[in-house]
Structure 1
Amino acid sequence: MHPTGRLFAIVAFIEAITWAGLLAGMWLKYGPQANVALVKLFGPLHGVAFMVYVAVTLFAALRLRWPWWATGLALLAAIPPLVTLPLEWWFKRRGLLSVRAGQ
């Protein structure tokens, strides 16, 4: 795996973890305990992780020469919860996280 592909995989994982933390926080906030502590923690963390994910996605798309559809899918994957992980796994299987022949 190319170092840029590894960076993308790490950031995709962090983005998904912060999404999970934010979802757990929202469940606690609106659920039985009405506790906002996790939302206060994971809200800003997820905001930063989302912005870093978008930046790293654009960097990886340029550096690894992704086709337009891969770049679009990677950007869209950050919107629904936890989709960056399966997308990263699929990209790895397709070879999109490695340097392609002719580069």
Structure 2
Amino acid sequence: MVPPKILAAFKRYRIAAFVVGWGLILLVAAMVLKYGFDYGTAVAVWGPIHGALFVVYVILAFDLAYKDRWSPLGTLWVLVAGTIPFVSFIAERQVQRKVLARQRM
């Protein structure tokens, strides 16, 4: 059984991981528009939004890591995964398996 405070932190993290994962994909698309088609407005608009979302992701990942007592390496893996397109989805699934099985990251 997952303690309620960890489960609540996990749910917040999952939402953030999903939003940041898709946000990063949109940022890559915006960068393609900027560098491939000389349309820099997309990055100018979406870049700061994604940056703010990523800060929230980092805070929520640290919150879950602290409450669930993750190892420093597990925490680092989740944080780095949030910077690579599509990898945040893989990390989120791994976190889900470990948190629900009460294993340490």
Per-residue CA distance 1:25-66 (angstroms, 9 max, x = gap): 11111113x222321221011111111111111111011222
Match in the other structure for 1:91: 95
Report whether the alignment pairs 1:15 with 2:17: no
Equivalents in 2 of 1:99, 1:21: separation in Å? 32
Q: CA deviation at 1:13?
A: 1.0
Match in the other structure for 2:55: 51
Query: What is the correspondence of 1:69-88 to structure 2 with a 5 Å cutoff?
Result: 69-88=73-92
The count of corresponding residues between Structure 1 and Structure 2 is: 98
Gaps of 5+ in 1: none
TM-score if structure 1 supplies the norm length? 0.81
Q: CA deviation at 1:99?
A: 8.3
Partner AA of 1:70 in structure 2:
G
TM-score if structure 2 supplies the norm length? 0.80
Match in the other structure for 2:29: 24
Gaps of 5+ in 2: none
More helix, by proportion: 2
Runs of 4 or more, structure 1, over 6 Å off, are none
